[in-house]
Amino acid sequence: MTPGGEPGESVVTVDGVSFSYEGGFEALVGVSMRVRRGEYIAIAGGNGSGKTTLAKHINGLLHPSVGRVTTCGMRTDETSVANLARKVGYVFQNPDHQLFCTTVEEEVRFGLENMDFEESESAPKAQAAMELVDIVALRDRPPFTLSLGDRRKVTIASVLAAEPEILVLDEPTTGLDHHDSEHLMSTLRALNRSGRTIVLISHDMRLVAEHVDRAVLMAAGRILVDADVGAVFSDLELLREAKLVAPPITQVAHRLAPLGVSPSTFTPSQLVQQIEVLRGGGG
């Protein structure tokens, strides 16, 4: 099931966007990209490459200095942030920019109540979102007393609660341990399978390679490449230019290319499968 429309239709269109912060620093330069309904894409790049700036254009927190952004059919510079927020959920890079209620449960319900959901609706939605990210046991705790990983989970739950059509998550696994980060990634994968469009900002190339379909690499405010992850991870030079490294498995695959391993190998199971074939069909 796809929420809100046809799969494949463009839900975010960034068209020739340049953006300068106050003081004149140009953080985006001629950026154009599209996100289609139901896609799961990553925006990756080194520190300061413009990922957060681009993400904040998708939900109208920033408006282009030049060009235009259309999200779910709405021009972001002509639509209020509140109206865009019904369609695009944004998880901030820094959870402390998003937390201000006195308990976790209030925090998760806050957005819903702002969207005028009745209490009879907001309570079960909040409960479901807390269950999804496994924070039910924290519901009465003040968010600011939690660990960074748990604070991050609270912000993710508060965004998921409203069931937005598009989810934009800015480095959501930073501060999460391996278990929580895998749990979050599988939750995101399940949400994507049920039709949600996901934009994940990350410089963890292992997570991107294993979970995401398409990657947009940025450097110095520009898009270097926008292609499926297989093509992106086959090009080590391009990754270097984006100040990124291929996941360890892909680096090994490049080293094994003379033996017949495909350089666009990016998960452990793909590598094992190829080695089995090279050894003569299995065992």
Q: How many residues in the shown chain lie near Mg ion by CB under 5 A?
A: 3
The half-sphere exposure of 125 on its side-chain side, counting CA atoms within 13 A, is 22
CA angle 187, 226, 22 (to 5 degrees): 90
Only one residue has tokens 């292992």, namely: 206
Q: Which of the listed partners (Mg ion, ligand ATP, none) does 149 bind, with a CB threshold of 5 to 8 Å by partner kind?
A: none
Nearest approach, Cβ of residue 189 and Mg ion (Å): 23
Which amino acid type is present at position 109? Answer: R
34 secondary structure, DSSP code: E
Query: Should residue 25 be labelled a site residue for ligand ATP when binding is judged by CB under 6 A?
Result: yes
The answer to whether residue 52 forms part of the interface with Mg ion (CB under 5 A) is yes
| Site for ligand ATP contains 53 (CB under 6 A) | yes
**Options 7, 8, 9, 21; binder of ligand ATP; rule CB under 6 A:** 21
d(CA 93, CA 241) in angstroms, rounded, equals: 23
User: Does 224 engage in binding with ligand ATP (CB under 6 A)?
Assistant: no
Q: Which single residue is written with the structure tokens 């154009």? A: 32
Helices (H), ranges, 93-213: 104-114, 119-132, 148-160, 178-193, 205-211
From the list Mg ion, ligand ATP, none, which binds 120 (C-beta under 5 to 8 Å, kind-based)?
Answer: none
- If the CB atoms of residues 45 and 164 are measured against ligand ATP, the closer one turns out to be 45
Q: Which is nearer to ligand ATP, 47 or 120 (CB)?
A: 47
Instruction: Tell whether residue 52 is a contact of ligand ATP (CB under 6 A).
Output: yes
Q: Kindly identify the residues of this chain, within the stretch 62-101, that bind ligand ATP according to CB under 6 A.
A: 93
Please calculate the CA angle 212-213-216 and round it to the nearest 5 degrees: 85
- The residue count of the chain comes to 283
Residue 172 touches ligand ATP, criterion: CB under 6 A: no
Q: Is 41 exposed, middle or buried (0-12, 13-18, 19+ CB in 10 A)?
A: buried
Chosen residue from 6, 47, 118, 137 binding ligand ATP by CB under 6 A: 47
Stretch binding Mg ion (CB under 5 A), from 83-91, 93-101, 125-133, 213-221? 93-101
State the maximum Cα–Cα separation within the chain, in Å, rounded to a whole number.
62
- Residue 155 · residue 133 · CB < 8 Å: no
Nearer to ligand ATP, 57 or 87 (CB): 57
Interface pick for ligand ATP out of 45, 60, 95, 230 (rule CB under 6 A): 45
- The answer to whether residues 259 and 69 touch, using CB atoms and an 8 Å cutoff, is no
Contact between 59 and ligand ATP per CB under 6 A: no
Q: Which positions lie near Mg ion, rule CB under 5 A?
A: 51-52, 93
Q: Which positions lie near ligand ATP, rule CB under 6 A?
A: 21, 23, 25, 27, 45, 47-53, 93
